[in-house]
Amino acid sequence: MQKISEAFILDDDMVDGDLGDGKDIRAARRSTGSLDDPSKDELKGRLQEASEVIDVLCSELDVAHRYLEGKYQALKILEGKAILDKATSHTKSLLQKSDQRAKALEKESMKACFLSVQLAVLGACRCVGAAEACPCSRTAATSRKQLVQLQQELNDKDEALAHQRKVSLMLAHSADELQRQLHLDSPCQASDPSESSVPSQQPRDPSRDQSRSQQRAESPESNRREEQQVATKDEKCVLSH
């Protein structure tokens, strides 16, 4: 009985609430569903659209990533600058303090010089209880002014002397170079064969030439006369013997 009931249930299409022809309707639905399925071309188009969208999103992500990297590097640079500013602020403050101390020491040294002059002047002062400015204070003020002027003059003279030394050194160097050039040029002129082979073309004196020619013409006559005198001396010596 159970087998018969199971077979009846499988063959009966009334179980799903269908009033009849349930199998035929199911087959029709399956056929229409296969017609409603998209084709391959539509699927390819959808895939291409999805791939294009994915490419656009990837490019946007790359741009955003690069932008974030640039911001990160800028933050690193700013952090480095902040660290350097903190490190150098202490050194800057120390330098400012040292400059201020140096200026204060210079002022104190100048004041000490002026005070020493004033004390030297006031040491000879014997004015006691003077209400007005005594001549000692006036002389101290004038001496202070004179000292300042003398210091300025000394500084100016030192600068002028330094400039003169530089100029003198430059002139000495240029003079040495000129002497070297002259020494180098002089042996070249002495060893020049063109100048040594060419005789010195000086204007000749015609009177000297005439005197030389006359001496040459008279020389044989003078020789003859001397020979005759010697011969006569010999004859006289023979006759005397």
Q: What is the pLDDT of residues 1-20, one digit of tens each?
A: 444 455 444 455 554 555 55
For 198, the 3-state DSSP assignment is coil
Which pLDDT score is estimated for 227? 64
Q: Would you say 121 and 139 are in contact if contact means Cβ atoms under 8 Å apart?
A: yes
Question: What's at 16, amino acid-wise?
Answer: D
Helix-strand-coil split of the chain, %, nearest 5: 85, 0, 15
Residue 11: phi and psi, rounded to 5, are -80, -25
Asked whether the beta carbons of 103 and 110 are under 8 A apart, the reply is: no
| pLDDT confidence bin for 66, thresholds 50/70/90 | very high
| Res. 209 pLDDT band, cuts 50 70 90 | low
Q: Are 133 and 142 a contacting pair, CB within 8 Å?
A: no
> What does pTM read for this prediction?
0.27
| Coil, strand or helix at 169 | helix
Q: What is the pLDDT of residue 203?
A: 46
- List CB contacts of 137: < 8 A, sequence separation 6 or more: 122
CA dist., res. 44 & res. 40, Å (int)? 6
124 in Cβ contact with 136 (< 8 Å) = yes
pLDDT > 90: what percent of the chain?
10
Q: Pick the residue with more confidence: 8 or 149?
A: 149
Cα of first residue to Cα of last residue in the chain, in angstroms, is 218
pLDDT band at 156 (very low <50, low <70, confident <90, very high): confident
Q: How far apart are CA 28 and CA 34, in angstroms?
A: 10
* Distance separating alpha carbons of residues 163 and 43, to the nearest angstrom: 95
- Judged by average pLDDT, the poorest of 85-89, 109-113, 128-132 is 128-132
Arithmetic mean of pLDDT, 117-127: 59
Q: Are 121 and 143 within 8 A, CB to CB?
A: yes
Confidence of residue 128 (pLDDT cuts 50, 70, 90): low
Residue 63 has what pLDDT? 94
